[in-house]
Structure 1
Amino acid sequence: MIQVQLLNVNIHNVAMSDLLNNLRDGGLVVTPNVDHLMKLQRDPDFYGVYQEAEYRVCDSKILMYVSHFLGTPIREKISGSDLFPAFYTYYKNDESIKIFLLGAADGIAEIAQKNINSKVGRNIIVDTYSPPFGFEKDGEECQKILNMINSSNATVLAIGVGAPKQEIWVAKHRKHLHKIEIFLAIGATINFEAGNIKRCPKWMSEVGLEWLYRLSSEPKRLWKRYIMDALPFLYLIFKQRLKLYKNPWSKVKRNRTNNILSAFKGFKRM
């Protein structure tokens, strides 16, 4: 699969239709946007998760513009809020696809479940849970969530608890989710599906102004994400264009590869 490098992320240059078909084989989907790319400059754990994700798809029209500026255009924007409804529509007649929704405030995921199941015509969302704040640091709470997901017989986990929390949680616990084959990190999408937060008008999304709509809707929560990171992001992109950008975690990647090679050598000696 062709990939496009934006800073220290290799984004899969894939169409929505191809991604949906490829997900039959399972995997973790992450959706990089400007906020993610800036977090990936500061957070080595988040970076490590991104390296291991099977699919990294473009969640931003801004990143599409940037890819054209860098001479390696991305063909399609696939945001989590577009991917998730496309996913459950694509697999609505596949009885093996059973989705667990993890995220949003109390009661919101349940509303999303009812809305989606009504649209699909079957109980494709088999269960939901709204975790408490700080759940990712509570071992007992995490085990409770794992038990709930495993007992639900879900084969898909759609998690919307914000980045990088959702991606790191999946990477840490996916080996304990024995029936889950597909992992979708979908951010605020559960709220959109429940209807308690409105998505921006389609025309704003298509021209790259979704960030402005969301900023105007939640200025206190989002101003730092959209304003404070804008100039540093543009600076790094110009550095990449001039071939001056350096991945701050290149040693992390090399060490990860060296550990894998060491383990393989040890296995051969056994």
Structure 2
Amino acid sequence: METYFNIRYEFDKESVHDRIAQQLKKNGADYICVADGVILNTANRDPGYLKVVNGGMFSICDSSFVPLYIRWIYGKHFEQYCGSQIFMDIIRSRKYRMIFMGTSQAILDGLKANLVKENPDVAQMQFVELPFRKVEEFDYPEIARMVEADGADIIWVALGAPKQEIFMSRLKPYLHHGVMIAVGAAFKFFSGTEVSRAPQWMIRCHLEFVHRIFKEPRKQLSRCAGILGSLPRLLWQEWRRKRHNAHIADC
């Protein structure tokens, strides 16, 4: 696990799954953030949200550009591990009981129908629509009782950033078991009812954001503008951090 752009990332996929398994053997619950460009931008503009993002086990890198930036600055090679990929990796592993929370009932129904094809065990798992309300208005003790009565190991949360990360941080103190993972648009991608993920060639060419702009222009253009506005500062700060660390190492 290493910190870049002020976020604690775990890039190694095997380590991600090993640490999930280790956490599930302990008492207490924790959470994993799936940090895309939106989270990177928001966390570096809002210290309180950055504390939430770094308050869990770690973040996985859902941005194809962050590994490029790290390569440019540090010469290190990392890979993206996006939310939809960890989602399907865990679904297909058939290792855990899971609960799926968030978004609309129509999306949840479509998601369940498609996931059963990947993992028949999903047919016996709960898909829970959370009411539309401010993040501070949820009844966290009641949600925790529902999750614990279910016995879920993995709690998937899809409320959109930054709401879903704050939701997990607020639910964590009430849970005695489980790993929460916020997967944003993954529910939509695999429900077959709304936005689909970009074709693989676009993903390989770092053009997934273009696909999403065409699907949700107003929402995605606003997000892209925010990211582009903060990117020069983030790159400059990271380059200075590299210089500073190299100077300390030489002393």
Same fold (TM over 0.5): yes
Q: CA deviation at 1:132?
A: 2.3
Is the 1:107–1:130 contact (alpha carbons within 8 Å) kept by the matching residues of 2? no
CA deviation map 1:101-152 (0-9, x unaligned): 1112222113212321232122376101122222523244x44433332322
- 1:61 aligned residue (57, 61, 64): 64
Aligned to 2:120: 121
Task: Please give the alpha-carbon distance, in whole angstroms, between the structure 1 residues aligned to 2:165 and 2:77.
Answer: 23
Is residue 129 of structure 2 the alignment partner of residue 130 of structure 1? yes
Amino acid aligned to 1:88: I
Aligned to 2:34: 31
TM-score (norm 1): 0.80
Q: CA deviation at 1:210?
A: 0.9
Is the 1:239–1:245 contact (alpha carbons within 8 Å) kept by the matching residues of 2? no
TM-score (norm 2): 0.85
Identify if the C-alpha distance between structure 1 residues 74 and 164 changes in structure 2 by more than 3 Å, giving closer, same or farther.
farther
CA deviation map 1:40-89 (0-9, x unaligned): 12222211122222121111111111011111524221111111001111
Q: CA deviation at 1:243?
A: 4.1
Is the 1:80–1:187 contact (alpha carbons within 8 Å) kept by the matching residues of 2? yes
Is the 1:115–1:193 contact (alpha carbons within 8 Å) kept by the matching residues of 2? yes
Task: Please give the alpha-carbon distance, in whole angstroms, between the structure 2 residues aligned to 1:139 and 1:83.
Answer: 26
Matched residue SS, 2:122: coil
Is the 1:32–1:60 contact (alpha carbons within 8 Å) kept by the matching residues of 2? yes
Q: CA deviation at 1:192?
A: 1.1
Matched residue SS, 1:181: strand
Amino acid aligned to 2:104: A
Task: Please give the alpha-carbon distance, in whole angstroms, between the structure 2 residues aligned to 1:115 and 1:104.
Answer: 16
Aligned to 2:192: 195
> Would you say how many aligned residue pairs link Structure 1 and Structure 2?
237
Q: CA RMSD in A?
A: 2.3
**Alignment map for 1:56-205 (pairs within 5 Å):** 56-90=59-93, 92=94, 94=95, 97-123=96-122, 126-140=125-139, 142-178=140-176, 180-196=177-193, 197-205=195-203
Task: Please give the alpha-carbon distance, in whole angstroms, between the structure 2 residues aligned to 1:193 and 1:102.
Answer: 14
Aligned to 1:44: 47
Is the 1:38–1:229 contact (alpha carbons within 8 Å) kept by the matching residues of 2? yes
Is the 1:159–1:184 contact (alpha carbons within 8 Å) kept by the matching residues of 2? yes
CA deviation map 1:202-244 (0-9, x unaligned): 1111221111111111011121111232142133213421449
Matched residue SS, 1:146: helix
Q: CA deviation at 1:167?
A: 1.1
Identical aligned residues as a percent: 19
Is the 1:157–1:182 contact (alpha carbons within 8 Å) kept by the matching residues of 2? yes
Identify if the C-alpha distance between structure 1 residues 87 and 244 changes in structure 2 by more than 3 Å, giving closer, same or farther.
closer
Aligned to 1:256: none
Q: CA deviation at 1:164?
A: 1.6
Aligned to 1:6: 4
**Unaligned 5+ residue runs, structure 2?**
24-29, 245-251
